[in-house]
Amino acid sequence: MRRSKELLAVWSRAGRTALRAAFISLLGIMLPAGTLFAAGTAAKPDFSVQTWPAGRSVAPGSSAVYSITITSQNGFAGTVTMSVSSLPSASTAAFSPASVNVTAWGKAYSTLKVSTTTSTQAGPYALRIQGTSRKASISATAGLTVSDRLSASSPPAFPSIAPGSGGTPGITRTMMSGRSPSASPGWP
């Protein structure tokens, strides 16, 4: 009798293990791939910080402006305060606005202006632009090159066009009597 109880206990443990394996296999067949894993790990709300352009070149005594985009990820919503570090000596930085409210799945924008002085040392700098919320601190890097070879009064390398003007930088179109339009270089 004792022997049969031991055999029954061994069989029932093996049977439960086999039953569990069969159940898990059926779940794997019926559920889409990744569902079991995803059910146990929810993505944490977060945000990203992006800068445009990636780098600027300025002469000592002039300024560089960067556009900052803060993007909600996984439903993040909250206030993000902007800061910058690794500035060149004898330079200042200001964000406008310094704090932004990001809505869930949305974007917010800020502008960074880095002003150099005539005593700012020439060289390349990697600016660390950081966005901080109650839950996270995310950073991005933007390049700044201060060069004495540039003049503060030099025209921009890429002329700018006002939004909505529909113009093309550096190209002027002219119509000459009966001839097709020709393109000629020019500054707006």
The predicted-structure confidence for 5-28, as pLDDT tens digits, reads as follows: 554 555 555 556 655 655 555 555
Domain that holds residue 106: 46-152
DSSP string for 8-33? HHHHHHHHHHHHHHHHHHHHHHHSPT
User: Do 33 and 52 fall into the same domain?
Assistant: no
User: Do 97 and 33 fall into the same domain?
Assistant: no
Structural domains of the chain, count? 2
CA distances from 155 to 49, 60, 150, 188 (A): 30, 15, 10, 11
Report the distance separating Cα 105 and Cα 75, nearest Å: 5
The predicted-structure confidence for 149-169, as pLDDT tens digits, reads as follows: 875 554 444 444 445 444 444
User: Do 82 and 15 fall into the same domain?
Assistant: no
Q: Say what the pLDDT of residue 16 is.
A: 60
Considering the chain, what is the average pLDDT of its residues?
76
Does residue 168 lie in a domain region? Answer: no
The predicted-structure confidence for 54-75, as pLDDT tens digits, reads as follows: 999 999 999 999 999 999 999 9
Hey, what are 34's tokens?
Answer: 């990744």
Does residue 20 lie in a domain region? Answer: yes
**DSSP helix/strand/coil, 42:** coil
User: Do 29 and 90 fall into the same domain?
Assistant: no
Does residue 172 lie in a domain region? Answer: no
Encoded amino acid at 163, one letter: P
Q: Say what the pLDDT of residue 47 is.
A: 96
Hey, what are 156's tokens?
Answer: 């921009």
CA distances from 111 to 71, 91, 129, 185 (A): 15, 17, 11, 31
CB–CB of 83/130 below 8 Å?
A: yes
User: Do 15 and 78 fall into the same domain?
Assistant: no
pTM for this prediction: 0.60
